[in-house]
Structures are given as structure tokens and as C-alpha cells.
Amino acid sequence: MTGISRIDQPDVDVAVDVAIDTRLDRPWAVVVWDDPVNLMSYVVYVFQRHFGYSHEKATKLMFEVHNAGKSAVAHGNREEVERHAEAMHAYGLWATIEKTGDG
């Protein structure tokens, strides 16, 4: 028993480390999804207004959403992308957060 728990212990630490790492450092993305209701011009407006993107960049991202069905429009740690997703939801856009890369 004692032996086993000594072997288990490092695993627990690793798991905790990964959780903290994921939460604070690993890159996450906020993904905006295409929907049949929102106007293209509105989506461009929201991307410019919320993210401060140029009209050109906002338009490019909007077309990615429209043509590919979704687009990762911003990256950050989990807290940051959650804040962005909340802002998108407030504007009525469909947004999710995704962990990018391994993790």
C-alpha cells in the first residue's frame, strides 16, 4: 500500500500541474460559428468593435466563418477567451472556446 501510494503521488502532481498549465498558459481560441440569422455586416461590425480589428481583417474573418462554418477569431488563455466568448454571446454571435494544440 505504502509503496503504491508513493508511485501514485507523482502522477497526482503531474495532473495538478497540467490543470494549472491548461488554465493559465496554454493557448485557447475563441471560435465563432456560422449561423443563418446574423448579417455579414453585423459580424464584421462586431469583430471591429470588440477586437479592434481593421475592417479588412474583420471582413476576412467573417468570410472564414461564413464559408468554412467557423473561424478562430482570437487566442489567449482560458480566462481571456471566455471573456471574448461572453462578449460575442452578448452581441448575439455563436462562439465557443477551444484549447488549441496538445494539452
Partner 1 sequence: MDAFRVVAGKLETIIEDDEREVLAHLASEVAELLGIDVAQRAGELGLFDDASGPSSDVEDQWEEITRALQMADTDGPEMVGPPADPAVERLLPPVSEDPAIDDEYRRLTQTGLRMRKGDRLVRFWVYLQPENGPLLRLNAGQAEEFMAAITDIRLVVGQRLGIETSDDLESLRLQFQLGEEPDQRAGLLQISDVLAWWQESLISGLQMLGDAH
Residue 81 Cα distances to 17, 28, 66, angstroms: 21, 7, 21
**Among residues 12, 19, 92, 103, which is the contact residue for partner 1, using CB under 8 A?**
92
The one among 37, 67, 68, 101 contacting partner 1 by CB under 8 A: 37
How many angstroms from the chain centroid is the CA of residue 47?
14
Kindly state whether residue 63 participates in binding partner 1, applying the rule CB under 8 A.
no
For partner 1, the binding residue among 1, 4, 7, 39 (CB under 8 A) is 39
With cell 469583430, the residue in question is 47
Residue found under cell 475592417: 55
Binding site for partner 1 (CB under 8 A): 34-39, 41-42, 45, 49, 82, 85-86, 89-92, 94-98
